[in-house]
Amino acid sequence: MVCFHGDEGALMIKEKGKFKRATSSIGSIANLLNRESVFKIMLVTPMQLLLSFLLVPPFAIVIYLALVNWQPIFGSWTEAPFVGVSNFVRLFSDRQFFWALARTVVIVAISVSFQFILGMALALLFNREFHGKKVCVSVILYPMMLPWVVVGFIFYLLFLDHGPVNYVISSVFGPGATVSWFSSSVTALVAIILADIWQWTPFMFLMSYSALGAVPKELREAAMTLGANLWQIFRYVTFPTIKPVVLIALIIRALECFKIFDLIFIMTRGGPGVSTESMSLYIYRMGFRYGQLSFAAAVAIVVLVAISLVARIGVRPLLKEEL
Amino acid sequence: MTWRKWVLGLVLAGLGFLALADPVAERALAGLRELMNAGVIRPGQTFRIMIHSGQRGQLAPAVEELSRLTGLKIELVVIGYEADIYNKAMHEAIVRSGDYDLFLTFCNWIGDMAEAGLIVPLDSWIKKYDPEIHTGPNAYVKPLDLFTTQYGGHYYALGMDNDALVLFYRKDLLEDPNEQAVFEARYGRPLRLPETWEEFDLITEFFDRPEQGLRGAHLYLTRQFAYTSWAPRFIAKGGIYFDPLTMDPRIDTPEGVEALKEVLALQKHMFPETYTGDWSAAYTFFPEGKVFWTIAWASLGHWASDPETSKIAGKVGFAQLPGEYHEGELYRATPHVVGWSLSVSRYGKAPEAAYLIAQWLNSPSVSAQCITRTGTLDPFRLNHFKDPNLLAAYGPALGPVLLLNAEQSFPDISLRGANEYLDVLNLNLNAAAAGLLTPEEALSQTARAWQEITDRLGRGRQIESWQQEILRYPRHIRELWVKLGKVPPELAGL
Amino acid sequence: MKMLGSRRVGASQVVRPKSTIFWILRWAAILATLAFFSFPTVWLLSISFKPPIEWMAFPPTLVPRNPTFDNYVVLFRPELPKGTAGAMLRVTEPVTKSFVNSFIIVPVATFISVVCGFLAAYAVTRFRVGGAFMPFFVLTTRMFPPAAFAVPLLLYYRWLRLIDTPIGLIVIYAGFTLAFSLWMTKGFIEGVPRHVEEAAILDGASPWRVLFTITLPLVKGGLAATTLFVFILNWTEFLYALIFTSTRSITVPVQLSHYVGAVGRFYGPQAALGVVASIPVVALGYMIQKYLVTGFSFGLLKR
């Protein structure tokens, strides 16, 4: 008997009749439900329904808004004049947009890298039993469980010029070493990135940890008896097994981090000036504060297309067939 | 603290009685009863007012009382961040759900809200029910009656607030004879409350003593309110935001640049939180005794005077903001920043009834009681400044000073697109405070952005609106503009 | 198996000096990590017990000089705290309504999201339904900046009359977290060897039975982690909760934003509410920990 992947990618047994025979004895409705084609459709239908219901009409409105010139103070949205791609043209000559984009990319790159390394390292550290492990895991997971607003203002208060962080720094290194964290773009971003790392490393930890729990112990033990050291075990046994989960976690976290908003809003409001504005904050300022909803829609579409292209590359290994 | 509860209870108990003695409130109630008799509104009908959480304590008892008096169900919908009030109001303009009947918002948002079709003009109802805005012993403090109620030549709101800023200072230090002697010796002039901004800067420098844990001043340079420190100097020097004929920005002028340079020069005497923190930093530093003086809203007055929340209770003085001399005359200018006012939603089920609810809340007696319960709303009618309970809550010295500052105050930009104009100004001033831009760059970049906004919104209409707004500035400022040739006499309404 | 284990212990005992250093290093690393993760949490707790005058005071003190329970009391009984500070804090209703709403909306939305996502993930992994495009398309739902989607969605919801209703928020939360549910469970399903399922099919099990009796138990850990994460996302979500509710359906994060007043943000009650709001999530996290160590040892080797 040979197993292979058929046209629909389903598991097929060469003697096709065998499959059918297994289910022919059950009732006809059950028969229908158990047919692979019906089964597959039923699996994805709830999701498709939900997404179509929720997303399709509003997204159509988004595209409409991007092609007209509308602000609420101009009047009704249905009577807005058509302007074609002029919103997009305006976008590409807006320096603040490109700065926000670049800044966001930098934030994501640094923050997610740290989170990944730290989360993975922690998961490896915790991958055995010891006293008080459950409590330690709860402490590590805690930051993720707080509302964004709370994380934001906690770090805001911590990094204020006269806050605890500067207090500790001045106690250890002397008063001259204190940093006015929110007075310049770079130091403010450091504080923001630290807040993001604090809040979301638990996620990478959680994903790595649960993925590690699925690594077969026997493989590791077999490798150890063969004389492999810790690094080799990690590289050749552990990592390939956890790769799908960790990679997905990384991609998801990067996507989320790209939309970083609440933390920056609470901590600096994008200031000083607009030097800590992220992409989401820029869109919020344009769309909500200034009411330029058409322009904001155009920006969002451009961002969506840009991220999709980048993500496509990153996601490709995950969509390849599993060997 | 139960004696306070008793006082409050007595005040509340007297509410109904006083309301009858207040013709404005009485007209509102009568109007509501008429509408109910005519079947326009029914008993138990719900009315919702969108407010900021800082006003809930002040308005909730009044709203309950009115519900009892009329049989209607009046609810307060509380929103936490001020910016979100604007967002939700604009969303309501788009969505028209009818979920809200009244909005209590910044008075300079009225332009946007009116243009979006969200709120209805109140001219006919004001004529019919007369809330005594301009006339009578209980009228609004001038010129607040113009700031918080009008846009584009029509009435759109009833003001509920007075946000003229006040100068709070350490009375004990200013009146200390030793300090006065040293000051006079060093600078050759007496130590007294400043008349000009130059004096202000000198006194700030004098009282900046980091080694003693006292800094000179705390002025807002934050992302949200930086303009409140720059604008009073700019206006007092004779500056004007826009040209009255062409709507070209006039902020990157010598007055503007000088004003900004002066403020930035004070940074070495202030904490960095002036531009890294938010507006509540003043409410921490000043009551802790860590700065000599600050310019902030009236609510800091009682926060700093209450021994429970302040280390300097009893040492706080209140003063007018300084100004500039022009040809031997002193012109003071105080910014009026925010100023909550009530507007009526077009999409509510019964706008006239909603207006009457607003008028009742706005009436001299009811508003006095609301404001006595301290919060974000401050005294704005003449009778408030004679009300013993209210003065006791604010501190007897604060009242007269608040009145003086209100009389010399000028409004925020209240045009269509006000949020945009002010936000761009703020972000550039904030960037200058952080050293990212020079004063000239900050103001010229703002001017360029303002031109773009004006063009996008339609220059012709903006010119019209701006010419109307000029008329709301206090008389002495308009006189100064005419004197300096900034505004042609026929547009100054003198 | 046991013999294998004891041989391992034996091996490490032989190499004792090296393992002690490792042991010390490991514990140092764990303690350093705990310190980093707990310091802001401790600061949060500290603020929740401080009166207003101490929230931004300097020099900062870890232990409040005048500790008070007012910040917690004002959440549930706003009328109780006395004095000027108490009056200032009294800015909104008790938090009970927001908790009730959150406890209804979030678990339902999480359940719907995880179930739909898991089923779809199985179809995508095992049967390549939708090919390479559909799962990626689902992922794009997370790429769109929420602020730009809010007003169009608001217009749509107005038409559906779903504004300020629990159902409205449930649909939004379930829909927007579907991408997570699908992609996260997808990874875990891929870790389950196919031949286990194939064996069951050959034994005559229907696809449904294979899914629920074979695959599901093997991805328990992944499902637990996904559920926790989706729950957290929904529980702490603020922007859409604010935009799509006004009075009836406000959730805990929106309630938290109400603690702002005439003298600024009220960090004390916000901190207290942050702590209180995290308790259900912590409880959930603690409960799922036992599912996270599946230790897949069927004695079967992965190919």
**A121-130, A224-233, C9-18, C114-123: range with lowest mean pLDDT:** C9-18
C115-138: average pLDDT:
87
Q: Cα–Cα distance between B105 and C185 in angstroms, integer?
A: 46
Higher pLDDT among residues C133 and B414, named by residue: B414
- The tens place of each residue's pLDDT in chain A, 323 residues long, gives 454 554 444 444 454 444 444 444 446 666 666 677 888 888 889 999 999 999 999 999 999 999 999 999 888 888 889 998 999 999 999 999 999 999 999 999 999 999 999 999 888 888 777 777 878 888 888 999 898 889 999 999 999 888 899 998 998 888 888 888 998 899 999 999 999 999 999 999 988 888 887 777 777 788 778 877 777 777 777 787 788 788 888 988 999 999 999 999 999 988 798 999 999 999 999 999 999 999 999 999 999 999 998 888 877 766 664 43
Nearest-CA distance from C60 to chain B in Å? Answer: 13
Inter-chain contact B53–C52, Cβ cutoff 8 Å?
no
Determine, for residues C53 and B280 on separate chains, whether the beta-carbon distance falls below 8 Å. no
The alpha carbon of residue A58 is apart from the nearest alpha carbon of chain B, in Å, by: 13
Distance CA B60, CA C87 (A): 13
Which chain B positions have a beta carbon within 8 Å of A73's beta carbon?
Answer: 112, 115-116, 416-417, 457
Cβ contact, residue pair A136, C152, below 8 Å: no
B109: nearest Cα among B156, B59, B175 = B156
Q: If you ran DSSP here, which 8-state letter would residue A228 be given?
A: -
CB-based contact A147 C295, cutoff 8 Å = no
Determine the residue among C70, C84, C165, C259 to mutate to test chain B binding: the one whose Cβ has the most chain B Cβ atoms within 10 Å: C84
Residue C107 banded pLDDT, cuts 50, 70, 90: very high
Write the residue in B90, B273, B431 that is nearest to A272 by C-beta: B431
Mean pLDDT in residue range C86-104: 86
Q: Which helix (H) or strand (E) covers residue B430, if one does?
A: helix B418-433
Q: What is the band of C154 on the pLDDT scale with cuts at 50, 70, 90? A: very high
Residue B45 — pLDDT band, cuts 50, 70, 90?
very high
Closest CA–CA distance from residue B302 to any residue of chain C (Å): 9
Domains of chain C in sequence order: 96-292 (1.10.3720.10)
Chains with at least 3 CB pairs less than 8 angstroms from chain B? A, C
The number of C-beta contacts closer than 8 angstroms across A and C is: 339
| Domains of chain A in sequence order | 87-319 (1.10.3720.10)
Tens-digit pLDDT profile for residues A178-235 = 888 998 899 999 999 999 999 999 999 988 888 887 777 777 788 778 877 777 777 7
Q: Report the C-alpha gap between B272 and A189 in whole angstroms.
A: 17
Return the higher-pLDDT residue of C235 and B305. Answer: C235
Q: Give pLDDT tens digits for B185-213.
A: 999 999 999 999 999 999 999 999 999 98
Q: Are C187 and A245 in contact (CB under 8 A)?
A: yes
Q: For all residues of chain B together, what is the average pLDDT?
A: 91
Of A73, A77, A272, the CB nearest to B430: A272
pLDDT at C56: 80
Please, are residues C91 and B57 in contact by the beta-carbon 8 Å criterion?
Answer: yes
> Is pLDDT above 60 for C238?
yes
Which residue from A266, A149, B106 is spatially nearest to C255, judged by alpha carbons? A149
Q: Give chain C's mean pLDDT.
A: 83
Q: Inform me whether the C-beta atom of residue A291 falls under 8 Å from chain B C-beta atoms.
A: yes
Measured CA distances, A49 to A44, B107, B494, C149, C151 (Å): 9, 45, 67, 19, 22
Residues of B in contact with C262 (CB under 8 A): 54, 297, 299, 374-376
| CB within 8 Å: A291 and B457 | no
Question: For residue C143, is pLDDT > 70?
Answer: yes
- Which pLDDT score is estimated for B305? 85
Closest CA to C69 of C215, C276, C302: C276
Instruction: Check residue A259 and give its pLDDT.
Output: 93
Smallest Cβ–Cβ distance between C91 and the set B54, B96, B281 belongs to B54
Q: Which residue has the higher pLDDT, C208 or B255?
A: B255
Q: What pLDDT does residue A310 have?
A: 86
**C69/B261: higher pLDDT:** B261
Task: Determine the pLDDT at residue C119.
Answer: 92
Of C88, C154, C263, the CB nearest to B95: C154
C267 contacts in chain A (CB < 8 Å): 153, 157
**Model confidence band, residue B15 (pLDDT cutoffs 50, 70, 90):** low
C-alpha distance from C165 to closest chain A C-alpha (Å): 15
* Interface residues from chain B to C (CB-CB < 8 Å): 1, 48, 52-54, 56-57, 75, 77-81, 84, 87-88, 91, 94-97, 99-100, 278-281, 283-284, 287-288, 297, 299-300, 302-303, 306, 308-311, 373-376
CA distance C56 to chain B (A): 7
Chain B: closest CA distance from residue C144 (Å): 20
Contact residues on chain C for B97, CB-CB shorter than 8 A: 158, 163
Instruction: Give A 229-268 residues with CB within 8 A of chain B.
Output: 268
C 106-145 → A contacts, CB under 8 A: 112, 115-117, 119-120, 122-130, 132, 134-136, 138-145
CB spacing of A273 vs B224 below 8 angstroms: no
**Residue B35 to residue B37: CA distance in whole angstroms:** 5
pLDDT digits (tens, 9 = 90+) for A296-310: 999 999 999 999 988
Q: Where are the domains of chain B?
A: 2-162+338-411
Contacts 24+ apart (CB under 8 A), A220-229: A221/C4, A221/C5, A221/C8, A224/C8, A224/C11, A225/C4, A225/C7
CB contact under 8 A, B116 and A77: no
Contacts of A72 in chain B (CB under 8 A): 90, 93-94, 112, 116
What class, spelled out in words, does domain B2-162+338-411 have in CATH? alpha beta
Q: Give dist(CA C22, CA C30) in Å, integer.
A: 12
List Cα–Cα distances, A173 to A12, A167, A168, A184, C59, in angstroms.
68, 10, 8, 21, 16
State residue C275's pLDDT score: 93
Whole-number Å distance between alpha carbons of A200 and A258: 13
Task: Say whether A216 and C56 touch across the interface (CB within 8 A).
Answer: no
Contact (CB, 8 A) for C231 and C283: no
Res C102 pLDDT > 60? yes
Say what the pLDDT of residue B4 is: 61
Size of interface B-C (CB pairs under 8 A): 106
Cβ contact A161–B427 (<8 Å): no
Residue A288 · residue C147 · CB < 8 Å: yes
| pLDDT score, position A33 | 67
CA-to-CA distance for C96 and C107, rounded, in angstroms?
Answer: 17
Indicate yes or no: CB of C92 within 8 angstroms of CB of B53: yes
- Do the beta carbons of residue B359 and residue B131 sit within 8 Å? yes
Which of B112, B268, B276 would you mutate first to test chain A, the one with the most A CBs within 10 A? B276
Q: Quote the CA–CA distance of B215 and B269 in Å, as a whole number.
A: 6
Does the distance separating the beta carbons of C145 and A61 come in below 8 Å?
no
Q: Does C260 touch chain A (CB under 8 A)?
A: no
Tell me if chain A has a CB within 8 Å of the CB of C58.
Answer: yes
Q: How far is A190 from chain C (nearest CA, A)?
A: 15
Taking only the tens place, the pLDDT of each residue in C284-301 is 888 887 776 554 433 333
Counting residues of chain B whose pLDDT is more than 90, the rounded percentage is 77
Distance from C-alpha of A108 to C-alpha of A100, rounded to nearest angstrom:
12
Which ipTM did the prediction report?
0.89
Structure confidence at residue B235 (pLDDT)? 96
Question: Which subunits have 3 or more CB–CB pairs within 8 Å of chain C?
Answer: A, B
Choosing among A71, A78, A87, A179, which should be mutated to test the B contact, i.e. which has the most B CBs within 10 A? Answer: A71
The answer to whether C180 contacts chain A (CB < 8 Å) is yes
Per-residue pLDDT, B5: 59
Cβ contact (<8 Å) for A72 and B428? no
Which residues of chain C are within 8 Å of residue B213 when distances are taken between CB atoms?
Answer: none
Average pLDDT, integer, range B287-298: 93
Query: What pLDDT does C220 receive?
Result: 84
pLDDT at position A20 is: 46
Task: Give B154 to chain A, closest Cα distance, Å.
Answer: 17
